[in-house]
Structure 1
Amino acid sequence: MSTTTERRTTSAPPRRTVVDVVVSALRSAPLTIPLILVAAALSFATSRFLTLGNLENVLVAASIIVIPGLAMTLCITMGEFDLSVGSTVALTGVITCTVIADGAHGLVGMLAGLVTGALVGVLNGLVITRFGVTPFIATLATMVIVRGAATALSGGRDVIVNDPTLKYMAAGRPLGIPMPIVLAVLALAVMLWVTYRTRFGRHVAAIGSNRDAAHLSGLPVDRIRLAVYVMIGVAGAIWGILISAQLQKGSGQLGLGFELDAITIVVIGGTSLLGGHAAVMGTVIGALLIETIRNGLNLLNVPPAYQRISVGLLLVAALAIQAIRRKAPVEVLDDKP
């Protein structure tokens, strides 16, 4: 009897305390504490920060950037990245607004923009997979080409529109919720499912962990890589449509530096640049952190240049932390006899 009781006691899982749950949550989303601290500091620095209207502005801004950030999470999990997403924003906006300005319905213009983004993704994917060009060089070249195409198509001028369908993408409120937030929630739900519940997500992580092993295991590595770049292209197109909807214009100058934002929220969120591990919720919190900082700096009348500096510093800090974490296990192993 006592033996049976001892076995049951031994096999019973230990009870998790509230502290254990909190610690586990913080480990899975390490940016939570910095986000809370930044928000608390801004609430003391300016009384306007905690107003409902301002908090909604933060959520809308974070929602717009998190959509391409989620797609970039998959790409970085794969051990690669895309530098052309900012230029995709510009080209998508120009094409969407040009089609609308030529008399087409807003939905047709947005569809043309989405197709454009997908084609940019296909271009990146084919150059990388078929010709063996490294992602850095391939997407850097695409960034220049696509930016030039956007400037050429717009003639170096803003393409101004006043379309209610396009405007609804930025100002619409289905069920009282701003449309960008609705789109971000849908994108998050899809990305959580794809990353953690599908073979595709597991294959992406496997490629990031060891591409040669993934090849030997029979995974369609090139097709998966191509699909990821198409996803980034479409996400960049959505980004471009939302920005153009806010401004009611397309321009070859839109999206400058946006690729840094997309990569930064992924890296500070915990996804390693070496690949193999995705931190989807970390990307979301990274977007909230960056937009909270930007919003606070705007409220405090800090010049935009310093906002870019803050994003760069966050990226450097995240990369430094990742480097320290990678070195720690090696040092432990070296100490073994």
Structure 2
Amino acid sequence: MTAVLRRVPLMLPLIVVVLVLGLATDSFLTGGNVENVLVAAGIVALPGLAMTFCLAMGEFDLSIGSTVSLAGVICCSSLIAGQPLFVAMALALAAGAAIGLANGLVVTKLGVTPFIATLATLVIVRGISLAYSGGHDQIVSSTGLKYLVGGRPLGIPMPIVLAVIATVVAWWAMNRTRFGRWVCSVGSNREAARVSGLPVDRIRIAVYVLVGVAGGVWGLLISSQLQKGNGQLGMGFELDAITVVVIGGTALLGGRASIVGTVLGALLIETIRNGLNLLNTPPAYQRVSVGLLLIAALAIKGLRRADIPVAPTVVPEATR
């Protein structure tokens, strides 16, 4: 048990939070509520897994929340225009990939820092989304789109199925492929990776495209839940995507990633949110809780670094 907690340190606080909320309210540990938590965590985990690769290479993408909005607007407006569901979803994902590609090119070819580049993209894409929608809700009634969240293959909610598949693929890619090792190498020492012959720019661009596509998927899931697209959707979502990764154990400065930790981070955040909802806590305080979790995670990481005189060699989680 001690070995498990050492490898997955977020397991203990998650268990504690579950026990506390289970004692605080009788409705928390009911079957329906546990399913709600898992569905919400699955939806957040999907973009969090993509963001894990981004943070593992020492960068991050602040534009993912705006990508959520634009993807949802494009999908819903396309359905309203009479496009088939497959085409509408493909256009939304293509928009996400294009945003990621733009971020990657600006960062690698123009030399703009990721913070500035993706912050600018956040503003630009949000403006495009608002202009595209005319500031109005793009309301749809699509059973096919609703299946993304409401479907239950083999009796399991679709977001959980998608999250499990994405987790397995992400873990394999991070820990069993050259790409995952390259991402961590770039995050550990970019210049050393370049000197050793790694295609650093292509790796960085590929990761930004991955995050953009994940933002598109997130937008489709949110639109599936609400059955609408809106230029205001996705505000603050970038904080959620980054927080679940950081509290899950992925190094903010790059070089180390924990796919399992990201999933547990999503579970922890959504468990806390669900519990606060059941305790009738105002929504504003739920955002405060996410911010406090992020600060706590960064503080703990800072204290750990202060206790380590020499930085260890950084590798994906499965090889440690």
**What is the TM-score when the length of structure 1 is the normalising length?**
0.91
1:300 aligns with one of 279, 298, 301 = 279
Q: Which deviations, in whole Å up to 9, do the C-alpha atoms of 1:130-157 show, x marking residues without a partner?
A: 1000000000000000000000000001
1:51-70 to 2 correspondences below 5 Å: 51-70=30-49
Q: CA deviation at 1:251?
A: 0.3
Correspondence for 2:255: 276
Q: CA deviation at 1:330?
A: 2.9
2:113 aligns with one of 96, 116, 134 = 134
Q: CA deviation at 1:31?
A: 0.8
Distance 2:122 2:8 in 1: 32
The answer to whether structure 1 residue 108 and structure 2 residue 49 are counterparts is no
The answer to whether structure 1 residue 81 and structure 2 residue 60 are counterparts is yes
* Closer/same/farther in 2, CA of residues 156 and 52 from structure 1, 3 Å limit: same
Unaligned runs of 5+ in 2: 312-320
Distance 1:292 1:59 in 2: 9
Matched residue type, 1:148: G
CA contact (8 A) 1:29 1:282 kept: yes
The answer to whether structure 1 residue 45 and structure 2 residue 24 are counterparts is yes
Distance 1:303 1:144 in 2: 28
2:239 aligns with one of 233, 256, 260 = 260
CA contact (8 A) 1:107 1:165 kept: no
Correspondence for 1:312: 291
CA contact (8 A) 1:89 1:240 kept: yes
Correspondence for 1:16: none
The answer to whether structure 1 residue 145 and structure 2 residue 124 are counterparts is yes
1:61-210 to 2 correspondences below 5 Å: 61-210=40-189
Unaligned runs of 5+ in 1: 1-21, 333-337
Q: Which deviations, in whole Å up to 9, do the C-alpha atoms of 1:229-283 show, x marking residues without a partner?
A: 0000011110000000000000011000000000000000011111100011000
Q: CA deviation at 1:331?
A: 9.2
- 1:50 is paired with a residue whose SS is coil
CA contact (8 A) 1:28 1:282 kept: no
Aligned residues with identical type, % of pairs: 65
Matched residue type, 1:172: G
Count of aligned pairs between the two proteins: 311
CA contact (8 A) 1:77 1:275 kept: yes
Matched residue type, 1:82: D
The answer to whether structure 1 residue 240 and structure 2 residue 212 are counterparts is no
- 1:330 is paired with a residue whose SS is coil
Distance 2:245 2:265 in 1: 7
**What is the TM-score when the length of structure 2 is the normalising length?**
0.96
Correspondence for 2:318: none
Q: Which deviations, in whole Å up to 9, do the C-alpha atoms of 1:204-249 show, x marking residues without a partner?
A: 0000000000000000000000000000001111000000000000
- 1:326 is paired with a residue whose SS is helix
Distance 1:108 1:172 in 2: 20
Displaced runs of 4 or more, over 2 A: none
- 1:132 is paired with a residue whose SS is coil
- 2:306 is paired with a residue whose SS is helix
Larger Rg: 1
Distance 1:63 1:234 in 2: 16
